[in-house]
Structure 1
Amino acid sequence: MVEPIFASPLADTIIQDVEKPLEEEGFAFLQAQSMQRVLECAGLLGWDAFAASWNDLGVDRYMADGGRYRRRRYATFSLTDGTITRKPHQPHYQSRDYNTLNGGVERWFKPVLPTIGEHPALMAILRLALRVITDMTPPERRPRSWHTEVHQFRIEARPDAAGCPTPEGLHRDGVDWVFVVMVRRENVARGETSIHDLNHKQVGSFTLTNPMDTAIVNDNRVYHGVTPVQPVDPDRPAYRDVLVVTLRHE
């Protein structure tokens, strides 16, 4: 079951500290040191190998802006109180109500590799996500299972073209919860996350900088967006790697 995984007083305190701003403001920023401590309680191992898998993503060929700066892999899971089950590979779909740039079509991406789909780092992140959203959802509204989408993203930046982590701009994803985990920033500047309420008033901002820095967003309550990233040294590769996990009622 989920609860005993986070039985340590430190992990439980960190989770409670995250859930307070989620309840009050609809978003939270969890710094890397705290995130690592919590994930270790959930079985985190092999982070370096997990992060290295971002070197083997496919080009996103569905970018309506014509860009080729985004690489990704994709997988779906079903999360219940006791199990994490990977679903058969399927397309990613968002309506144009939520994604005016790339929505309205089924997008087939390369699947997350089997070794990464069952990796201890990913399992720990999914266990944490399930713990948080279970706490934050009233018992009468909790589904039997959560439809969970996992995206490995790499945004590449060049001297002549910035990379856009959210090319659709300020947006909601059409889900219930969004977790964004920083994996690696290499030679990039900017990439600031901004949070806006449903009236489009900015209510927060921060930058995911260190591996495991994490943003958690209640997608029903706030919009989010990320500024483009640019190379610091134009002669070196520049990219921003993140793991995005979205969850919604089945």
Structure 2
Amino acid sequence: MDNDNDAVVAAKHALEEKALCLMPPSALMSCVGTDEDAWASFASHWDALTTDRYASARGTCRLRRYGQFSFAADTGETALLPHIPFVQPDNTNPLYVDVDRHFDPLTDAFAADPVLRSVLAVLGGMAAALDDAAMWNAKVHPFRVVASADADGQPTPEGLHRDGVTLVSSLLVGRRNASGGESSVFDLEGRQLLATTLREPGTLLLGDDRITLHGVSPIRPVDPATPAYRDVLVVTFTPA
């Protein structure tokens, strides 16, 4: 894996100049150094996610797990941190103010997956383009949003928002029978910077969360007889 290849340089430049970057799958794969078999193994972890009871209480069918890693800027090393509840910073998610959300931890197999570790190393390099922190905290959220004929899937039920971090990223892992799911990025004055639908697995959307807002429109089944899935890996980085 070469974290200084042209794709990484271009992504860092876009983040610095435009506060966002949309990286196509070919560029990401060149950075991560994976192949189809490794990617398929990585994507299979989404079948082991568990119910997000907080989303269910608000009528959204969402599966997820959660974990944290450290990232050392000088060496690129990542290390899994002890599992703790997920708490978002103040003034970010209005749905869960002062709520410690308890999610099931990442499985051991997922936490050790070489594709995940490579993705974290690449994202850590991106974060370093925005801040010169020596150590970073990476919060890792694998999500599966499910929609049916009777209920839309809500990737961001809180609407347009910030996560209260430095770097926010959304990596499409898979879509099945889904329409919708448009990702939008705005600046803090409300001007739209990007609107795109992540359709091809391996597409990566990155943003400087300090100066942007983001949201994703609902998904619906193309064929109403079967569920729609949208599998995404959301990773955020903040200085430790």
* Range that drifts further, 54-63 or 150-159: 54-63
1:92 aligns with 2:82: no
Looking at structure 2, the residues matched to 45 and 122 of structure 1 have their Cα atoms a distance apart, in angstroms, of 14
Looking at structure 2, the residues matched to 45 and 186 of structure 1 have their Cα atoms a distance apart, in angstroms, of 19
Figure out how many residues of one structure are paired with residues of the other and give that number.
Answer: 238
CA displacement 1:192-249 (0-9 Å, x = unmatched): 1111001111111111111110000100011010000000001122110000100101
Kindly provide the amino acid, as one letter, of the partner of residue 108 in structure 1.
H
Looking at structure 2, the residues matched to 170 and 66 of structure 1 have their Cα atoms a distance apart, in angstroms, of 17
Aligned counterpart in structure 2 of residue 216 of structure 1, from 192, 200, 206: 206
Query: 2:181 corresponds to which residue?
Result: 191
Aligned counterpart in structure 2 of residue 113 of structure 1, from 95, 107, 117: 107
1:37 shift after superposition: 1.3
1:133 shift after superposition: 1.6
Query: 2:229 corresponds to which residue?
Result: 239
Query: 2:28 corresponds to which residue?
Result: 35
1:56 shift after superposition: 1.3
* Range that drifts further, 160-169 or 142-151: 142-151
Query: 1:150 corresponds to which residue?
Result: 140
Kindly provide the amino acid, as one letter, of the partner of residue 38 in structure 2.
G
Gap change, CA 1:189 and 1:214, over 3 Å in 2:
same
- Asked if 2 retains the 8 angstrom alpha-carbon contact of 1:195 and 1:205, the reply is yes
1:124 aligns with 2:118: yes
CA displacement 1:30-86 (0-9 Å, x = unmatched): 011111111107x99721111011111111111386224111000001100322110
Query: 2:5 corresponds to which residue?
Result: 12
Query: 2:55 corresponds to which residue?
Result: 63
Kindly provide the amino acid, as one letter, of the partner of residue 6 in structure 1.
D
Looking at structure 2, the residues matched to 68 and 23 of structure 1 have their Cα atoms a distance apart, in angstroms, of 35
Gap change, CA 1:75 and 1:133, over 3 Å in 2:
same
Q: CA RMSD in A?
A: 1.8
Specify the SS of the correspondent of 2:41: helix
1:103 shift after superposition: 3.2
Specify the SS of the correspondent of 1:163: coil
Unaligned 5+ runs, structure 1: none
Stretches of 4+ aligned residues off by more than 6 angstroms: none
Gap change, CA 1:136 and 1:97, over 3 Å in 2:
closer
Q: TM-score, normalised by structure 2?
A: 0.94
Specify the SS of the correspondent of 2:7: helix
Kindly provide the amino acid, as one letter, of the partner of residue 135 in structure 1.
A
Kindly provide the amino acid, as one letter, of the partner of residue 176 in structure 1.
T
Looking at structure 2, the residues matched to 239 and 103 of structure 1 have their Cα atoms a distance apart, in angstroms, of 28
Q: TM-score, normalised by structure 1?
A: 0.90
- Asked if 1 retains the 8 angstrom alpha-carbon contact of 2:24 and 2:203, the reply is yes
> Sequence identity, in percent?
35
Query: 2:196 corresponds to which residue?
Result: 206
* Range that drifts further, 88-97 or 165-174: 88-97
